[in-house]
Structure 1
């Protein structure tokens, strides 16, 4: 039997500036998940390159990629991905366990992150004791506890009702206003409207790169080093 090669992404070239809020849209199989995995250093491009804050990271080894993810990137998922047997505070502190911080400092930083997302009174609750919206707030706190420069959010409102989804987007908008770059995957046009830029994928290619309706949509691009430059081979 012959070998079939499937290019999940082809001919994609994207530059994302520091502090941008970018929404990524497209049907299932369009390549948006692969794109996000590349940005999050979870996958490597088979051709092309990926620059993160000016550094070519495509050739980093697994240890360097893990360190980059831990120190620079926060992840938010549709299904929260919280550990069910530990408290909200311990869930948020977990990413800090890979560093050299003492336990007391990890818990202090985790408590501050939970307060930032409005859950200062739920620190000792386990996930089962929290609503879906509260669980997603815990997940966002976990994403920001290490002071990342980039947050990647994969359908962060997909498991939530409309009102709660708007609240979660408000938190992400506040983080973006602080200068954190946010790239968000969504199927929902009303969620994408929060972004200042919308990328649309189809069949492994980016077919549109448009200005969004978010508050930063009309802001001039910062001068100097871009945050991310991703180029997938043809």
Structure 2
């Protein structure tokens, strides 16, 4: 039996993997599993919100409808989802090794050697898991308030869990995952996506917060929450 061009062994000693392929397989499975979990959590949260939170209300500000906001949303989606899909497809088709063109974007080795790089990649996988945990707890506390843009008919300002530390922990989990990909894949490519996402969030967040502040149901409550939880994405930074 074969998977991604590799023969699945009957015994561990029969593994047809080099050391490089073994480490890359761990990174590959972590990346694939993270995307699978992220998609599953998003779909579950959206289903709960649609069933219990009502429909998203029309935005009270024209900012959310402008072409710039739509462009920023698409840029963020591309920066977030593009690199991992390219990595997964390219690595799977290349027998658990990064394609040559992908390796051309490799980070410097810093004289770490294979063992040192393998350790850093493994630690980065742990950080990626932490990003997934942050997203899970964010969705859990968000409950039926989840909405891509705007405010739902039945909504409240969430102030518990990660939302008691920063106002947009879901966005923070995305940035943390992208940062971990750079070290997991040992590549500059995720940093390009990270920069694109960071710029997009910097543009999106003020618009989305303005929508909540202008909403009759959440405006006063959210303004009070913003004064209490001062940081949007990174504690003590912004």
User: Which TM-score applies when normalising by structure 2?
Assistant: 0.23
Which structure has the highest helix share of the two? 2
Structure number with bigger Rg: 2
Higher strand share: 1
| TM-score calculated relative to the size of structure 1 | 0.23
Greater relative contact order (Cα 8 A, min sep 6): structure 1 or 2?
Answer: 1
